[in-house]
Chain A
């Protein structure tokens, strides 16, 4: 276990203490923080470790949300429904990944973007099952009151975040993580030395989708109402990338810090510039890419570089 992974786990543990400090607002913010961290950590597997520019996060978020939503409206308990979303997203992503991850660069980016459109249109048109454009109402999980409900979903999302973080740490230290790094650096060479790149990429794509799907499921159960343009929003694909870019690509700790920083910025922007919040988000993205392309973690190296070298 490296030091940065240890810090990551400590950070995740710190998030769990959040309900002690505030009321409903802190719970809501904490739940979203966990959700964003899950999305960013998951994206990091395919985008950071394997180096594939995936924009498919929103597709699996929506898929998980609708799997959970449809199951719950049929009377399935929330835990089983979210587990089904986890398994379903993994299976769908691994199968699709075997086909889509043969594409590289721009073509993969376009294909993963189109995946969102395909899923959204499918859900939009399957009115009998999903309610189509009218959206889907999801039954309340319990009648115990607003605050206990919020606490329940906060800890559910937090547990999922813990699971994602552990998965990412295990992957980073395993043969799979090493293989993905090889694929990122030179896929042809990795193939040549006998690495089953297709299998590795499919598993990575599946792993990067399943926690996102489960997060979508918890989100759906939490907000009780989803519609296609909400959960298949392309912003769910772009935000994790921005978070990873803020924190620094590839480093799990950096990515989670990026998610928290991003959430803070987003709250400030939402609160002060509701009319132009997406424009301000755009300015933020552009400024980040132009002036800090290697993320906050690179600042540390730059600051350290100013010190005289020790002999």
Chain B
């Protein structure tokens, strides 16, 4: 029964991990930028959900609808005004730049919200359901379903919409896309905006489950790293596979050798994967 519980926990957590990582993966894949603000976007999304619930009693499900356009606009502007100027620079410059932006955003959050841990508690609490001795909290289950839905939405955008096809085209071959009349700069900004929107929505969902503090942003960012490398870059299915694999490894690792070593395990795995299989589980080789 323990095995079943570990498995279910991993599946539930894995979808959330995928949701955390998917925006990061999109930005990395399309813009070729390692976006270190991602973690702070997630925390900001969590604060948005918390604030809306505390002050206006808007439940987190509706907060998702509010967060998405807000974060899209935020990300779009950051890319257009700041990041776009150095987009062709080497990784050292873009990475350090996003680190600087992250310092600003994180410091602003510490300044306004303080570093205290907060928690969004729904009243009344939603309880949990149990099936054959396997217990799952309902709020966690709904968050997982929403995370899956978000990933699905991104998948549909990339598959069905014209702008989504343009994003994929830019990712595959920027020069060819330019020749076909795609406005690469605006696609970059839209992709970054989408990444930010996904991060904000992921933050809203995280607010239901985890404590909220500006200090947690690096933990989210670390998860995004590992999921992206495990699953492979820039594909929706890769992020899902990576998320579930990471959650499984953490779950099994915590059960066998203790929860303290779960993070070490995941990062060691990341480094091994980078060396042995840098394209990830579902990535294709030579497909940048």
Cα distance, A186 to B278, chains bound together (Å):
21
B85 — which chain A residues lie within 8 A by C-beta?
A: 290
Whether the Cβ atoms of A111 and B271 lie closer than 8 Å is yes
Among the stretches B8-16, B64-72, B88-96, the one at the interface with A is: B88-96
Cα distance, A125 to B102, chains bound together (Å):
28
Contact with A along B62-90 (1 / 0, CB 8 A): 00000000000000000000100110011
Among the stretches A75-83, A144-152, A218-226, A277-285, the one at the interface with B is: A277-285
Whether the Cβ atoms of B91 and A53 lie closer than 8 Å is yes
B25 CB to closest chain A CB, in angstroms? Answer: 12
Cα distance, A282 to B36, chains bound together (Å):
12
Among the stretches A114-122, A163-171, A201-209, the one at the interface with B is: A114-122
Given A282-B102, A290-B82, A245:B225 Cβ within 8 A: no
Whether the Cβ atoms of B34 and A109 lie closer than 8 Å is yes
A111 CB to closest chain B CB, in angstroms? Answer: 5
Dominant secondary structure at the A interface: helix
Residue B150, interface by CB 8 Å: no
A109 — which chain B residues lie within 8 A by C-beta?
A: 34, 91-92, 95
Contact with A along B257-275 (1 / 0, CB 8 A): 0001101100110110011
Q: Choose among B91, B95, B100, B263 the residue that contacts A282 (Cβ–Cβ < 8 A).
A: B100
Whether the Cβ atoms of B101 and A282 lie closer than 8 Å is yes
Whether the Cβ atoms of A284 and B274 lie closer than 8 Å is no
Whether the Cβ atoms of A125 and B260 lie closer than 8 Å is yes
Among the stretches B103-111, B128-136, B239-247, the one at the interface with A is: B103-111
A47 — which chain B residues lie within 8 A by C-beta?
A: 92
Among the stretches A85-93, A96-104, A253-261, the one at the interface with B is: A96-104
Cα distance, A55 to B92, chains bound together (Å):
9
B267 — which chain A residues lie within 8 A by C-beta?
A: 114, 117-118, 121
Closest to B221 in A: A113
B:28-58 near A, CB below 8 Å: 28, 32, 34
Residue B99, interface by CB 8 Å: yes
A183 — which chain B residues lie within 8 A by C-beta?
A: none
Residue B97, interface by CB 8 Å: yes
Residue B222, interface by CB 8 Å: yes
Whether the Cβ atoms of B270 and A241 lie closer than 8 Å is no
Whether the Cβ atoms of A118 and B274 lie closer than 8 Å is no
A205 CB to closest chain B CB, in angstroms? Answer: 14
B172 CB to closest chain A CB, in angstroms? Answer: 17
Given A109-B95, A115-B271, A121-B263, A279:B229 Cβ within 8 A: no
Cα distance, A107 to B99, chains bound together (Å):
17
B92 — which chain A residues lie within 8 A by C-beta?
A: 47, 53, 109, 241
A121 — which chain B residues lie within 8 A by C-beta?
A: 261, 263-264, 267
Residue A289, interface by CB 8 Å: yes
B199 CB to closest chain A CB, in angstroms? Answer: 18
Dominant secondary structure at the B interface: helix
B97 — which chain A residues lie within 8 A by C-beta?
A: 285-286, 289-290
The count of residues in chain B whose C-beta lies closer than 8 Å to any C-beta of chain A is 40
Closest to A289 in B: B97
Residue A3, interface by CB 8 Å: no
B111 — which chain A residues lie within 8 A by C-beta?
A: 275-276, 279
Residue A264, interface by CB 8 Å: no
Whether the Cβ atoms of B103 and A282 lie closer than 8 Å is yes
Q: Choose among A106, A245, A276 the residue that contacts B34 (Cβ–Cβ < 8 A).
A: A106
Closest to A242 in B: B96
Q: Choose among B32, B82, B263, B264 the residue that contacts A286 (Cβ–Cβ < 8 A).
A: B82
Given A105-B91, A245-B96, A290-B86, A282:B271 Cβ within 8 A: no
A113 — which chain B residues lie within 8 A by C-beta?
A: 225
Q: Choose among B32, B100, B261 the residue that contacts A285 (Cβ–Cβ < 8 A).
A: B100
Closest to A287 in B: B100
Can you list 23 A-B pairs with a CB-CB distance of less than 8 A? A53-B95, A100-B271, A102-B275, A107-B274, A110-B225, A111-B270, A111-B271, A113-B225, A114-B271, A117-B267, A121-B261, A121-B263, A234-B218, A241-B92, A242-B96, A278-B103, A278-B107, A279-B104, A282-B100, A283-B100, A285-B103, A290-B86, A293-B89
Which B residues contact A (CB, under 8 angstroms)? Answer: 28, 32, 34, 82, 85-86, 89-93, 95-97, 99-108, 111, 218, 222, 225, 229, 260-261, 263-264, 267-268, 270-271, 274-275, 278
The 8 closest A-B pairs by CB, nearest first: A285-B100, A282-B103, A279-B107, A282-B104, A121-B264, A53-B92, A282-B100, A286-B100
New A-B pairs, 11, CB < 8 Å, besides A102-B275, A293-B93: A103-B278, A107-B229, A110-B34, A110-B229, A117-B267, A125-B264, A234-B218, A238-B99, A279-B104, A282-B103, A289-B93
